[in-house]
Chains A and B, each alone.
Chain A
Amino acid sequence: MKKSILLATFLGVLVAGCSSTELQESQPLNPPQPELQSMQADDNQGTAYTSPDLNLLELRGNPLLAKDKRGIYFDFNKYVVKPEYMEVIQAHAKYLNETPAANMKIQGNTDYRGSHEYNLSLGQKRAVAVKEALNSFGVDDSQIETVSYGKEYANLDCVEQNSCGEDRRADIVYTVE
């Protein structure tokens, strides 16, 4: 095996190397990269407005809707909502059903292992799983947008810190709150 590879390399070189001297004229180069003003992204777009229809007192006052309870956590490579989160999800469903003007975004996340795009899809699956749980309590799709941040905000050191579970999460966010 070693010899045949060696021979192949050799033959390649010999075959390639047996014509006579080729002299070249001066040749043009690709132009240098133009001095560009780097473009600025339209960061943080979106128009938030407030309205009495949003029943913000309920949203801010109900302990089941509190911001520190808005994370739904998942197992590795999984997107099944665990039963322990159903009470919180049901409370959000009740708020949405009673507040047709309210709009929710569910943001899926993953830990950092694997590719950006696959994790984006996995985070999306998690967001959709939470949405479907809300649907099961009668919430209409028109009030929910599911999006994913994939692994973009995941901690690169989660294995060392034994904290990857914190990144496998779907977050509930309201457009106005």
Chain B
Amino acid sequence: MTKLLYIIFAGIFFFSSSISHALEVIEILGGKANQIPIAVMPFKSFGAPKNIAKVNTVIKSDLSRSGLFYALDTRGVSASPNSDKEVNFSQWKSLEAQFLIIGRVDFLKKEKVKVSWSLIDIYKQQTILSGEYVGKKTQIRAIGHKVSDKVYERLTGSKGVFHTKIAFVEKYNNEKYKLNIADYDGYNITSLLDSKMPIISPRWSPDGEKIAYVSFEKEKPVIYIQEIATGKRKLLANFKGNNSAPAWSPDGKKLAIVLTYNANSQIYLINADGSDVTRLVRSRSITTEPAWSPDGKEIYYTSNQGGGPQIYKYNLDSSEISRVTFEGKYNLYPSLSYDGKLLLYLTQDQGKFKVAVQNLLSNQVLKLTKGPLDEAPAFAPNGHMILFVYKDYGKTTKIGTVSINGLKIDPLPLGNKQVQEPAWGPIKN
């Protein structure tokens, strides 16, 4: 898949003569022709309790959300094969399916469940991957996500992110805030923190064990680090003025943070235990929103030194600063893909705020969303999907995902909740 992405971007670079052809590019990328058609059959279920999630529905929704697959409608397909021997291949070919997922679910004693599944290649007419998971009944969705991960990796060559966690902030009017953790698709929500004051900028530690965040509970922003397993937390930074924008170094030993004391926002480095605070750049302008390159050698950040906010990078070895974004007057909120090749940020385009991704080799920019009030884009750990915030027609903000090819935008099923500030946790082994 890394190859595919590279080809898409290389294609843009060579084939569009002008840099302003983002719309045309999205059109070229658009259409089902570029998605892998896959059919996920209903899994045969034995001894299922009422109201339990269907594994095949979880898998279908995962693959479809990724934007790289086109999940075929399997209603009206009467045959329900148990193995590749029973598949009517000509029927699936005529439905233009390339792959087929079949399986069964056995509900066992002691609240356990066993899921057996196979991935079948329609053209080769054989099973190319199969597996079995046993877990607790309450883990049924997690099992579905694991199957999706295996299928995704087999067919795209990249790790899936369907069994990862996200964090986000839930808000009730201006009176109550929660820092929540959930499955990547918004299910299984648990709360890490309840507060009467705002919470922003949650960031997962690289090992996925902790979350750094900014809380206004001391009537101004301060930074905490909280352990997810125990709920224990400690104050990382409570200096005079604001303490905000935590960003973990890739090795998890340090954080870049933003402090103001009695002046404007400046970026500092601090050890994860709170020791050794040093200023990174000195500037009369706003400098904020630090984001590390995956090799730990550069810090990207937002600065308004040229008037409106733009993204710059600071090299930690040479102390050199260079500007990174040039298209448009308002670019901010940088973050990098796991391979350091793509820069994700928020851009203002004809008055609308959109999620943009920039290839750092070619500097080609793609606008992935249409706005008008999108915000806070966050990469999945494989770089193939992005969480972002959008303003609903009502008075609330919602969270959705957009696929890196721009083909699939999907809301997270969080109901009427007002949600914001998403962060995507790492892939855990």
Q: Return chain B residues, CB-CB under 8 Å to A77.
A: 308
Q: Are A36 and B156 in contact (CB under 8 A)?
A: no
Interface residues of A in 107-130 (CB under 8 A from B): 113-118, 120-122, 124-125, 128
- Least CB distance from B81 to A in Å reads 16
Q: Is B375 an interface residue (CB 8 A)?
A: yes
Q: A121 with B258: in contact, given A5-B28, A29-B133 (CB under 8 Å)?
A: yes
- Given contacts A40-B195, A124-B260, A148-B242, list 5 more A-B pairs with CB under 8 A: A29-B142, A38-B194, A115-B302, A118-B289, A121-B265
- Stretch touching chain A among B2-10, B55-63, B101-109, B362-370: B2-10
Q: Are B263 and A1 in contact (CB under 8 A)?
A: no
Chain A residue at minimal CB-CB distance from B28:
A1
Q: Is B72 an interface residue (CB 8 A)?
A: no
Chain B residue at minimal CB-CB distance from A41:
B195
Q: Return chain A residues, CB-CB under 8 Å to B131.
A: 23-24, 27
Chain A 121-159 interface 0/1 with B at a Cβ cutoff of 8 Å (1 = within):
110110010010000000001001111111011001100
Interface residues of B in 124-181 (CB under 8 A from A): 124, 126-136, 138-139, 142-143, 146, 150, 154-157, 163, 165, 174, 178, 181
Q: Return chain A residues, CB-CB under 8 Å to B333.
A: 115, 117-118
Residue in contact with B216 in the complex, picked from A6, A17, A152, CB distance below 8 Å? A152
Bound complex: CA of A41 vs CA of B240, how far in Å? 20
Q: Are B146 and A27 in contact (CB under 8 A)?
A: yes
Bound complex: CA of A115 vs CA of B376, how far in Å? 7
Bound complex: CA of A141 vs CA of B263, how far in Å? 10
Q: Is B314 an interface residue (CB 8 A)?
A: no
Bound complex: CA of A1 vs CA of B174, how far in Å? 50
Q: Are B28 and A117 in contact (CB under 8 A)?
A: no
- Least CB distance from A1 to B in Å reads 5
Q: Return chain B residues, CB-CB under 8 Å to A33.
A: 165, 181, 188, 190
Q: Is A52 an interface residue (CB 8 A)?
A: no
Q: Are A17 and B286 in contact (CB under 8 A)?
A: no
Q: Is B218 an interface residue (CB 8 A)?
A: yes
Bound complex: CA of A12 vs CA of B1, how far in Å? 7
Interface residues of B in 216-269 (CB under 8 A from A): 216-221, 226, 229, 231, 233, 240-242, 244-245, 258, 260, 262-265
Q: Are B198 and A149 in contact (CB under 8 A)?
A: yes
Q: Are A16 and B157 in contact (CB under 8 A)?
A: yes
Q: Are A17 and B163 in contact (CB under 8 A)?
A: no
Q: Is B201 an interface residue (CB 8 A)?
A: yes
Bound complex: CA of A150 vs CA of B243, how far in Å? 12
Q: Are A117 and B245 in contact (CB under 8 A)?
A: yes
Bound complex: CA of A5 vs CA of B420, how far in Å? 35
Q: Return chain B residues, CB-CB under 8 Å to A61.
A: none
Q: Return chain B residues, CB-CB under 8 Å to A40.
A: 193-195
Q: A9 with B34: in contact, given A46-B218, A117-B333, A144-B262 (CB under 8 Å)?
A: yes
Q: Is A8 an interface residue (CB 8 A)?
A: yes
Q: Is B26 an interface residue (CB 8 A)?
A: no
Q: Is B359 an interface residue (CB 8 A)?
A: no
Q: Return chain B residues, CB-CB under 8 Å to A117.
A: 200-201, 244-245, 258, 288-289, 302, 333
Bound complex: CA of A145 vs CA of B307, how far in Å? 26
Chain B residue at minimal CB-CB distance from A46:
B219
Residue in contact with B129 in the complex, picked from A22, A35, A42, A150, CB distance below 8 Å? A22
- Stretch touching chain A among B273-281, B391-399, B409-417: B391-399
Bound complex: CA of A6 vs CA of B29, how far in Å? 9
Q: Is B296 an interface residue (CB 8 A)?
A: no
Q: Are A5 and B11 in contact (CB under 8 A)?
A: yes
Q: Are B262 and A26 in contact (CB under 8 A)?
A: no
Q: Is B324 an interface residue (CB 8 A)?
A: no
Bound complex: CA of A23 vs CA of B396, how far in Å? 47
Q: Are A29 and B219 in contact (CB under 8 A)?
A: no
Q: Are B155 and A16 in contact (CB under 8 A)?
A: yes
Q: Are B7 and A8 in contact (CB under 8 A)?
A: yes
Chain B residue at minimal CB-CB distance from A33:
B190
Chain B 115-126 interface 0/1 with A at a Cβ cutoff of 8 Å (1 = within):
000000100101
Q: Are A114 and B198 in contact (CB under 8 A)?
A: no
Q: Is B215 an interface residue (CB 8 A)?
A: yes
The 19 listed contacts between A and B (C-beta, < 8 Å) are A4-B11, A5-B11, A8-B11, A12-B1, A17-B154, A21-B127, A21-B130, A22-B129, A38-B192, A39-B231, A41-B197, A44-B197, A46-B219, A116-B376, A116-B421, A117-B289, A121-B287, A124-B242, A147-B221
- Least CB distance from A171 to B in Å reads 12
